[in-house]
A and B are shown apart, each in its own frame.
Chain A
Amino acid sequence: EDQVTQSPEALRLQEGESSSLNCSYTVSGLRGLFWYRQDPGKGPEFLFTLYSAGEEKEKERLKATLTKKESFLHITAPKPEDSATYLCAVLGGTGANNLFFGTGTRLTVIP
């Protein structure tokens, strides 16, 4: 079954405490993996697209990596403004035509 699983569901970090969010997938025929940030009461905001295993993308304190089974979103020295829900979505599946969303990781960074 095509599925995207994000872990942990929630993560609390002290400001400056680096960590990683995980997105594992069983979607066949990967054509792209997307990371989004979602603030409370807002829509998802696009962060990165990863296309193939081994690829990495960086933006400020965020770094996304991709393997054949999972993606990690590494957060280095987070700040309170990094608090948000981070969503992962995988394009693929039968015919490589579907976009599967995970349920997100809710990150809280404490000053």
Chain B
Amino acid sequence: NAGVTQTPKFRILKIGQSMTLQCAQDMNHNYMYWYRQDPGMGLKLIYYSVGAGITDKGEVPNGYNVSRSTTEDFPLRLELAAPSQTSVYFCASSLRGRYSNQPQHFGDGTRLSIL
């Protein structure tokens, strides 16, 4: 049982390049989330999804896009990478939504550097 799987684990991008961070879960969770974690800061929500075909913005969505075509997958797209997007990105999923008190389960993150 893999839980939440993120790929790649590490990536270096040049300014202006684009890339997609992959996230897949095998727990049949409807709710999925993308966070970024910066040094000395708490996790910040970028986007979330309540099910296939439904996504919504979180606290820091600018510069990112998401899609949710299946229950299992929730990719995060960076279109024009900027140095401010250097961070560790975590994908998470939960059985019930972000407004419920069910815990979220996290992947191991993608460490992204923009140079």
Chain A residues within 8 Å of B, Cβ to Cβ? 4, 31-32, 34, 36, 41-46, 49, 51, 87, 89, 91, 96-104
A99 touches B45 (CB 8 A): yes
7 A-B contacts (beta carbon < 8 Å): A31-B101, A42-B109, A87-B43, A89-B43, A97-B98, A99-B104, A102-B42
Q: Which residues of B contact A98 (CB under 8 A)?
A: 98
Cβ distance A71 to chain B, nearest Cβ, rounded Å = 14
Return the CB mask of B2-15 against A: 1 if under 8 Å, else 0. Answer: 00101000000000
Q: Does B105 contact A (CB under 8 A)?
A: yes
Label chain B's interface by main secondary structure: loop
B106 touches A43 (CB 8 A): yes
Question: Chain A: which residue is nearest B99 at the CB level?
Answer: A97
Label chain A's interface by main secondary structure: strand
A96 touches B106 (CB 8 A): no
Question: Chain B: which residue is nearest A41 at the CB level?
Answer: B108
A43 touches B40 (CB 8 A): no
Question: Chain B: which residue is nearest A30 at the CB level?
Answer: B101
Chain B residues within 8 Å of A, Cβ to Cβ? 4, 6, 40-45, 90, 92, 98-99, 101, 103-109
How far does the alpha carbon of A34 sit from the alpha carbon of B94 in the complex, in Å?
13
B99 touches A43 (CB 8 A): no
Q: Which residues of A contact B98 (CB under 8 A)?
A: 97-99
Cβ distance A57 to chain B, nearest Cβ, rounded Å = 12
B42 touches A100 (CB 8 A): yes
- B109: which of A36, A43, A46, A51 is its contact (CB, 8 Å)? A43
How far does the alpha carbon of A91 sit from the alpha carbon of B102 in the complex, in Å?
10
A103 touches B109 (CB 8 A): no
B42 touches A46 (CB 8 A): no
- A103: which of B6, B42, B104, B107 is its contact (CB, 8 Å)? B42
A101 touches B42 (CB 8 A): yes
How far does the alpha carbon of A85 sit from the alpha carbon of B98 in the complex, in Å?
23
